[in-house]
A = this chain, B = another copy of it.
Amino acid sequence: MLEERRLDVLRAIVEDFVLSNEPVGSKALAERHQLGVSPATVRNDMSALEEEGYITQPHTSAGRIPTDKGYRLFVDRLSGVKPLSRAERRAIQSFLEGAIDLDDVVRRSVRLLAQLTRQVAVVQYPSLSCSSVRHIEIVTITPARLLFVMITDTGRVEQRVVEVPAPVDDLIVGELRGVLNAALNGRRLVDAPEAVADLSDAARPDLRPHLNTLIAVVMEALVDKPEERVALAGTANLTLSALDFADTLRPLLEALEEQVVLLKLIGEVRDLDTVTVRIGQENSMDALRSTSVVATGYGRGASALGGLGVVGPRRMDYPGAMAAVRAVAKYVGDLLGAD
């Protein structure tokens, strides 16, 4: 009963503060929410909540604002995932179903997510390592330089320039292409090392050096340090939160421009089935310490193809963001999984 109401008060504080961005006081709280008690009682509860570290006051005689710990409790125990409105569901569907290729899917979804949440949105391209090879192509640029092109089942096209040890003619290129396709087509990239392990030994002697070079390059580029990519949208929304960031805005923007940073971020939170929320100091990267991140993985089956999420001020509509992230992840997963 007592405990119960204290949590109600915390919830009310979070909800009001997210809306107004102003410290919320006891009187306003008691009025705006049906707590059934007087402001004085609310004050006692607030006092207790502050004692426990869930809320704080910017200065004496101001209202209270939630701490990171307060938001955490709110997210964990006090809020459901707000269901999306019908209009929002429709928007998602109509926005994504027109997509024609992978690039288009990713770009549309990242913009959609930014629009739905009014935050900065991040969508990772499907990881190569989770994809399968659909086709491999080798094109001659000069006799000693080949362009290696790989098309995956998610529609990604990866390319690398390869310098071969000795000049090759079109005949050899054709053979190389055949060997590689035979070995890799339909294979998942994580299985690639195994699939090509003794390829060279089994091949015609004159192909071996080229094959070795190609395999080495391919392994290095696509498995050891695969090129992961992300799309970003909605940085304009940061101006809405300019007050929340102040000094930290510039480092934040710089971080968001770094693919590396975003990949690390997404990499940490791309569980399927779970929407991860990182609040303020919970983030591992300095530049994000003043933000909250709501993210999840997308894909079909056991392992995530990629991740997506939003970055915004700690003062965020968590239920709404979580719902949007989850919904978009589901659609994107279906689209890319089924393709």
Contacts and interface: CB of A to CB of B under 8 A. Distances in A.
Interface of A: 100-101, 134-135, 137, 139, 141, 147, 149, 151, 155, 157, 159-161, 233-236, 238-240, 249-250, 253-254, 257
Contact of A101 (B157, B161, B238, B239): B161
A141 B339 CA distance: 9
A238 B234 CA distance: 15
B149 A157 contact: yes
Contact of A235 (B101, B233, B253): B253
Nearest to A137: B137
Nearest to A140: B135
Contacts of A159: 101, 151, 155, 157
Contact of A236 (B135, B233, B240, B250): B250
Contacts of A249: 239
15 contacts: A100-B160, A100-B161, A101-B159, A134-B141, A135-B139, A137-B137, A137-B139, A137-B149, A139-B151, A147-B155, A151-B159, A157-B159, A233-B257, A236-B254, A238-B253
A100 B139 CA distance: 16
Contacts of A147: 134-135, 151, 155
Contacts of A135: 137, 139, 147
Nearest to A135: B139
Given A135-B139, A155-B159, 5 more contacts: A147-B151, A147-B155, A157-B159, A235-B235, A235-B257
Interface centre among A134, A161, A236 (most CB of B within 10 A): A236
A246 to B, nearest CB: 10
A151 B151 contact: no
A250 B257 contact: no
A120 B95 CA distance: 29
Contacts of A250: 236, 239-240
A101 B139 contact: no
Contacts of A101: 159-161
A139 B161 CA distance: 20
A141 B159 CA distance: 19
A141 B155 CA distance: 10
A122 to B, nearest CB: 13
A135 B137 CA distance: 10
Nearest to A240: B250
A319 to B, nearest CB: 25
Contacts of A254: 236
A240 B239 CA distance: 14
A169 to B, nearest CB: 16
A134 B155 CA distance: 21
